[in-house]
Structure 1
Amino acid sequence: MKPKILVVEDNEANMVLLRDILAIIGSEVLEATTGQEGLRLAREEKPQLILMDIQLPDIDGITLTRLLKQDPATSHIPIIAVTSYAYEKEKDLFSQAGGDGYLTKPIEIESLLKVVTQFIRGEKIHVGEAQNTSSR
C-alpha cells in the first residue's frame, strides 16, 4: 500500500519538488495550497504524514498544526515542518503546537527521504533530530 502524504505548501515550485521527491518512495501525495484546504484534506483523507509549510496565505502552519493535534480525528498524524524559517523561536512554537519534525529549506533530498521513511515506518524522532543541517 502506498503511503499517503499530505503536503501543505503554497509555493508551486516547492510543491512540485516535494511531489517529485515523494514519488521516489512511491507515495500518494495529497496537495493543499492553503491552511484551510490542508485542514479539510487531513480530516477527510487521514494521511500517514503531513509535510507543513509554516508561512501560508490564510492559517499559518503553526496554528494549523495546533488545530490538527487538538482534533482527535487527526491528532495521531505526524506533522513535519518543511520551511525556510530556521529560527529557534519558530522551531519552539512548532514543537509546542505538537509538531513532530522540522526540516529547513532548501530541501535536501536525502534528508527529506530519510525523515519521511522513518515516520512512515512509525519510528518517532524528536523535532530537533529532523533538522536539515545544510547552510544557507
Structure 2
Amino acid sequence: MAKKVLVVEDNDLNLKLFCDLLRAHDYAAEPVRDGREAVERARAFAPDLVIMDIQLPHVSGLELIETMKADDDLRNIPIMAVTAYAAKGDEERIRSAGAEAYVSKPISVARFVEAVESLI
C-alpha cells in the first residue's frame, strides 16, 4: 500500500506540483488548501508524512506544527516544512516547533523527493 502524505499548501500551483511529484513517486497525496482544516484532515487521513507550508492565511504553519506535535494521535507523524521565506533563524524556529525537515521554495525537485523519502 502506498505511503500517505498530507500536503498543506494554500498556493494552488505549489499544491498541484507537490501532489503530482508525490504521486509520480507512488505516494498517496491528500491536498489541504486551508490550514484551518489541517489537523482534522490529518486525523481522518492518518498520513505517514505531513508537508506543511509555513505562510498560510488564517493560521500559521508553525502553529499547526506545534498543535500536531502536542496531539497524542498526531505527534509521531513527521512534518516537512516548506517555505519561501527563508530568513536567518527561520529554520531553527521551524525545527523547534517540531518539524523534522525543512525545504525552502522554490523547491529543487530532487531535494524535495529526497527529503520525503528520508522521512517515510
Q: After the TM superposition, which residues 1-136 of structure 1 pair with which residues of structure 2 at under 5 Å, given as runs?
A: 1-120=1-120
Q: TM-score, normalised by structure 2?
A: 0.96
Instruction: Please report how far the alpha carbon of residue 28 of structure 1 lies from its aligned counterpart in structure 2 after TM superposition.
Output: 0.7
Letter in 2 for 1:2: A
Q: Which runs of 5+ in 2 are unaligned?
A: none
**Distance of 1:114 and 1:72 partners within structure 2:** 28
Task: Pick which of 85-94 and 97-106 moved more.
Answer: 85-94
Sequence identity (%): 37
**Distance of 1:101 and 1:79 partners within structure 2:** 7
Instruction: Please report how far the alpha carbon of residue 97 of structure 1 lies from its aligned counterpart in structure 2 after TM superposition.
Output: 0.8
Q: TM-score, normalised by structure 1?
A: 0.85
Letter in 2 for 1:89: G
Q: How many residues matched?
A: 120
**Distance of 2:51 and 2:117 partners within structure 1:** 13
**Distance of 1:62 and 1:91 partners within structure 2:** 11
Instruction: Please report how far the alpha carbon of residue 67 of structure 1 lies from its aligned counterpart in structure 2 after TM superposition.
Output: 0.2
Task: Pick which of 83-92 and 4-13 moved more.
Answer: 83-92
**Distance of 2:45 and 2:83 partners within structure 1:** 23
Instruction: Please report how far the alpha carbon of residue 3 of structure 1 lies from its aligned counterpart in structure 2 after TM superposition.
Output: 0.8
1:59-86 per-residue CA deviation (whole Å, 9 max, x = no partner) reads 1000000000000100000001111011
Q: Which runs of 5+ in 1 are unaligned?
A: 121-136
User: How much is the aligned-residue C-alpha RMSD, in angstroms?
Assistant: 0.9
Letter in 1 for 2:29: V
**Distance of 2:63 and 2:36 partners within structure 1:** 11
Instruction: Please report how far the alpha carbon of residue 45 of structure 1 lies from its aligned counterpart in structure 2 after TM superposition.
Output: 1.4
**Distance of 1:36 and 1:45 partners within structure 2:** 15
1:47-104 per-residue CA deviation (whole Å, 9 max, x = no partner) reads 0000000011111000000000000100000001111011133212211111110000
**Runs of 4+ with deviation above 4 angstroms:** none
